Structure 1
């Protein structure tokens, strides 16, 4: 597992650095959206390029590549990495489940009187792995590597949960013919995988066709990225000598996508979607159940869900804390799980078509993620420096 773990360390470094870039992109979007450039910014996003607006190209096409990488990471970790055994999956898996359920309950509690707002119940259920690891990177060796691995594993499982939620709950009216076409292309990809075909260009070509058909089917087009990822062949470590890992199509594609996704695609998404105007913003937003429900779900839901699940498992003797980690450090990491920026924004845009509701969602995401990130950082910052795992 030496090579696999070094790959995971490289993943952590890329995600952490990408998180810092994402922070800059989000801040720039807020500045531009509240400057004289705001009309140009918003009109550019609405401009059509071919059949889709620029914003839709970003959210439906570029983010499909992001979901492709998410799918590759999930498959690799389950087959050959930190989630390859049930003992390794238990702690981050149950913590991720708690971190999805409790935020949803808190959101629903705030919005139970508004049926139109209930569609956004899943918004605070997601953790932004790039943002969270970016904050952790600022702490250096104060946080043991085992906690960084725990957070990344939790966020990967969290992403899988978000993908399932999007596919089930945020699917528009289905186009049966396009869906049948997508299933046919999936069958071809499955056959290529089954017969051991390992040339990436053909997989990617069918992946483009799959994306078009899924887009037309009514299922969100980004799901095509995950489906394609699951069909990319992987060579597990025990099956081949360590030096042969580089020929695994999944490892090659994942390695090729990490930098452009972390430093180009996700920051572009953040810049395009984080821009919200504060003109006309009044103190009344503090009482807006939609915004407050999202913020409270991220800040308190993730804290109680993740930390509560870990506490129950460890106290019951079913799992151990990550190596060299303390309870206060786990508390800090649980708070960082409340940074829900990228995936929360994505689900919010799927949940609501009304621009005013989308803006209220963005207020909640920005406030909740900021508070979760700041409090998590402060908790971890005050902990005594420990030897890295």
Structure 2
């Protein structure tokens, strides 16, 4: 009885890809509820407890962002490499449309944010609304089942991977602290050794991971964000090991690392004042960047590309469905919250940015579901009318 009532539904959710998104949502809700309860202060202080020893003493929250999330970025790097080598990004012409759409989906949200915040102390947060959460976005599409054409799923997957690549580049280029040349040179040397191992077809993965750990340390100490080490290591992993590693990392990342990240990074005290602050330039820049900037950027660039004859829409994908996908891509969550942590030092700004990300992502998800559902209903209605007309014809 327990197996049928509990285990089977959980397994089905896991196989459909919905469970990871639901766990992230559940972790966020739990964290927000505890933060705003009688245990709130203890919970907030828990994440600020120091752990480790010099030169690696950090708070628990920092260990999550600078340690656990390196594994997440390692998986992102593996996915980027796989898609470029033999996935959706192998064919340049096939990859062109999602690449252009991803660029539009980064540029327009950044522009909307700067429209509200350029020249202010919050201007540094322009990259927060540019990110797409691939797990949440694909999870939303999976809720609609076969109502979403396969071509739209493939397009969103390719777009989100390119979006992740852009986010990695943004973090490396614009969210780097003061550089320490010695550490940076050592990190560069280690990366060179890893590339050489790959070129020599060395396949013993423990050696890559040992050097990768050293790479993480020196990247961390260099001033470049530590998560970049995860991506660099992934790019040197032997090709024949990529799929095996991705399969091994999927469950720990989806069901442990990302929920812990959500718990640590949504420990936010929500007050009437903070809700009102959503209408401040910072709140509007992030919220509207995700909610309007993403669909405008993705849909607009896609429309221009198709009309210019540069590319064509995927099979069975209509313009209305492309608009629905644009809203779905406005779910920033994981990466957006991560960039918010890098963008600001003031705790109030960080919390406001996170609340804006959560609200903007939630509304974008609901609008994406609604538009895609209505598009499918319209198609079914049109098909039914055509069938009825065919039957009525002599």
Q: TM-score when scaled to structure 1?
A: 0.90
Higher-Rg structure is 2
Counterpart in the other structure of 2:359: 367
2:363, 2:298 → 1: CA distance? 17
Tell me by how many angstroms 1:279 deviates. Answer: 2.7
What is the RMSD of the two structures over their aligned residues, measured on CA atoms? 1.6
- Say if 1:14 and 1:262, in contact at 8 Å, map to a contact too: no
Structure 2 Cα separation of the partners of residues 293 and 353 of structure 1: 18
Report Cα offsets for 1:120-177 as digits up to 9, x if no partner: 0111010011111111111111101211111111000000000000000000011111
Q: CA deviation at 1:67?
A: 0.2
What is the alpha-carbon distance in structure 1 between the residues aligned to residue 274 and residue 260 of structure 2?
Answer: 29
Give the aligned partner of residue 55 of structure 1. 61
Distance 1:187 1:19 in 2: 37
Determine the C-alpha separation between the residues in 1 that align with 2:169 and 2:274: 36
Residues of 2 paired with 1:351 and 1:139: CA distance?
Answer: 35
Rounded Cα–Cα distance in structure 2 between residues aligned with 1:16 and 1:206: 35
Unaligned segments of structure 1, at least 5 residues: 1-11, 235-247
Query: Are 2:386 and 1:384 equivalent residues in the alignment?
Result: no
Moved over 6 A (4+): none
Q: Which whole-Å deviations, capped at 9, do the CAs of 1:274-315 have from their partners, x for residues lacking one?
A: 232113525641431001110011111101100101111122
d(CA) in 1 for partners of 2:173 and 2:195?
A: 22
1:165–1:317: structure 2 CA closer, same or farther, 3 Å change rule? Answer: same
Residue 121, structure 1, aligned to residue 113, structure 2:
no
Task: Report Cα offsets for 1:186-225 as digits up to 9, x if no partner.
Answer: 1210110010001111111111111011111110000000
2:265 to 273, 285, 289: 273
Structure 2: unaligned runs, 5 residues or longer: 1-13, 381-394
Secondary structure at 2:311 match in 1? coil
Residue equivalent to 1:44 = 46
Map of 1:276-291 to 2, 5 A cutoff? 276-281=268-273, 284-291=276-283
1:1-389 counterparts in 2 under 5 A? 16-50=18-52, 51-114=57-120, 116-234=121-239, 248-281=240-273, 284-384=276-376
Q: Deviations over 1:214-273 (max 9, x none)?
A: 111110000000000000011xxxxxxxxxxxxx11222112111111111111111211
For residue 57 of structure 1, report the CA deviation from its aligned partner. 0.7
**In 2, are the aligned partners of 1:127 and 1:343 still within 8 Å (CA)?**
yes
Alpha-carbon distance in 1 for matches of 2:271, 2:256? 29
In the alignment, the residues of structure 2 paired with residue 223 and residue 282 of structure 1 have an alpha-carbon distance, to the nearest angstrom, of: 32
The 8 Å contact of residues 278 and 352 in structure 2, kept in 1 or not, is answered as: no
Q: Distance in 2 between matches of 1:29 and 1:15?
A: 23
